[in-house]
Amino acid sequence: GNSVTQMEGPVTLSEEAFLTINCTYTATGYPSLFWYVQYPGEGLQLLLKATKADDKGSNKGFEATYRKETTSFHLEKGSVQVSDSAVYFCALSDRNYGQNFVFGPGTRLSVLP
Amino acid sequence: DAGVIQSPRHEVTEMGQEVTLRCKPISGHNSLFWYRQTMMRGLELLIYFNNNVPIDDSGMPEDRFSAKMPNASFSTLKIQPSEPRDSAVYFCASSLAAPQGYNEQFFGPGTRLTVL
């Protein structure tokens, strides 16, 4: 079946540091890939997405590129802020699998001033 | 758009009591999902509906849990009887299922359930 693997957290960075959160996936078909963010006390929000190989999703300074050859969708940001502290979830949706999203376990990011 | 609406936001109850969580999806969306989130188990899909029909309830933990979607704008998740291990945050999400696959899911703010 389909699955998503993320780097284990927590990740602690200083403000303005470079961020990478690794995500790899296993899918039987041609998935769309997503990053969601969950701020404390809130539901998950879509951060960015990519629907086909080599697509780059971007939003709020975050980027991720759909790499079919390495089955990866790593999240990056060049300079994190304290306000980026949250839990980040990688997810996939595979139309050939005919159903819902598969979420990764989440990676908690803490950014220190 | 008001987004996905969940009620109540917080629920504290005693073991053995019935609990009903409610969800109003985004207007026009045709898929609805119920998730449970805990520190130990992370985010778990409980059940999802497509056009008000339950498609996959394999994530429902046991017979104490039941979910209904009587119409396109309302769903409930019921736990009866509740147990302390049901304490978690329950999220509802909705999406517009398109022929090319499911689009992004939109999450509600969640219901924090505490069973004493």
- Write out pLDDT tens, residues A64-96: 999 999 999 999 999 999 999 999 999 998 765
CA distance B35 to chain A (A): 11
In this predicted structure, what is the pLDDT of residue B102? 59
**CA nearest A93 in B: which residue?**
B102
Q: Do residues A25 and A4 make contact, with C-beta atoms less than 8 angstroms apart?
A: yes
Average pLDDT in the B72-98 region? 94
Mean of the per-residue pLDDT values of chain A:
91
Chain B residues with at least one Cβ partner in A under 8 Å:
4, 31, 33, 42-43, 45, 48, 55-56, 91, 93, 100-110
Amino acid letter, residue A23: C
In this predicted structure, what is the pLDDT of residue B49? 92
**Would you give the distance in Å from CA B68 to the centre of its chain?**
10
Mean of the per-residue pLDDT values of chain B:
92
In this predicted structure, what is the pLDDT of residue A99? 55
In this predicted structure, what is the pLDDT of residue B2? 81
**Would you give the distance in Å from CA B14 to the centre of its chain?**
20
Distances (CA, A) of A109 to A8, A64, A77, B10, B109: 10, 17, 12, 26, 20
Average pLDDT in the B14-31 region? 96
Mean pLDDT lowest among A34-48, A57-71, A87-101, B5-19: A87-101
HSE on the CB side for A5, CA within 13 Å?
8
Residue B74, Cβ neighbours under 10 Å: how many?
15
Please check the confidence at residue B34 and state whether its pLDDT lies above 60: yes
Query: Rounded to an integer, what distance in angstroms lies between the CA atom of residue A83 and that of residue A67?
Result: 28
In this predicted structure, what is the pLDDT of residue B42? 87
Average pLDDT in the B47-60 region? 91
Average pLDDT in the B14-35 region? 96
**Would you give the distance in Å from CA A69 to the centre of its chain?**
18
Instruction: Read off the pLDDT band of A100 (50, 70, 90).
Output: low
Please check the confidence at residue A98 and state whether its pLDDT lies above 60: no
Six token digits for residue A66: 């759909």
In this predicted structure, what is the pLDDT of residue A21? 97
B101 and A32 within 8 Å at the Cβ level: the answer is yes
Point out which residues pair with B65 in neighbouring strands. B79
Query: Rounded to an integer, what distance in angstroms lies between the CA atom of residue A98 and that of residue B41?
Result: 25
Backbone torsion region of residue A71, taken as left when φ is above 0, otherwise alpha when ψ lies between -120 and 50, otherwise beta: left
Among B31, B104, B108, the residue with its CB nearest the CB of A43 is B108
Instruction: Read off the pLDDT band of A41 (50, 70, 90).
Output: confident
Average pLDDT in the A94-102 region? 65
Query: Rounded to an integer, what distance in angstroms lies between the CA atom of residue A93 and that of residue A101?
Result: 5
User: Residue B43's closest CA among A67, A62, A100?
Assistant: A100
Give contacts of B45 with chain A, Cβ < 8 Å: 100-101, 103
Among A31, A44, A94, the residue with its CB nearest the CB of B107 is A44
Average pLDDT in the B44-48 region? 92
Query: Rounded to an integer, what distance in angstroms lies between the CA atom of residue A90 and that of residue A5?
Result: 8
B101 and A105 within 8 Å at the Cβ level: the answer is no
DSSP letters spanning B49-94: EETTEEEE-TT--STTEEEEEEETTEEEEEESS--GGG-EEEEEEE
